[in-house]
Amino acid sequence: MHEFAIIKQLVDTLSGELREKGVQQVKTIHLRRGSTFAEDPLRLALEVLTEDTPLKGAEVRIDSYSVEHKCASCGRSQVVTSDDLVGHLFICPACGTAKEIEEAHGLQLVSVEY
């Protein structure tokens, strides 16, 4: 589960910065995820990993954007979701061409309110 490792890194970094600032409790975390970054594992990872941090119990707002791919071999276009990936690879369902998706696990921290 790539999402878990990415969220762990985000939580560890953000928790350290918040503690340095003396923040005891975060109200809202606003994230932006690509369509290739599954939302359910994201929310589960946040729930598990924010225990004993200033992020625990914060409202989580998640916006999403579409990661689109056009196959260089056959020209087929589609929005790619996490279900379409094998690791970081997208395999075109029309022609079988494999392509590494650079935005495969795109996640951005938009804001933190405390």
pLDDT per position as a tens digit, 56-96: 999 999 999 999 999 999 999 999 998 999 888 999 999 99
Q: What is the pLDDT of residue 7?
A: 93
Give the separation between CA 12 and CA 14, rounded to whole angstroms: 6
Instruction: Give the dihedral of Cα atoms 51, 82, 103, 114; nearest 10 deg.
Output: -30
In the chain, % of residues over pLDDT 70: 96
Q: What is the pLDDT of residue 106?
A: 85
pLDDT band of residue 1 (cuts 50, 70, 90) is low
Q: What is the pLDDT of residue 104?
A: 55
- This prediction has a pTM of 0.84
Instruction: For the chain, list the domains and their CATH numbers.
Output: 2-113 (3.30.2320.50)
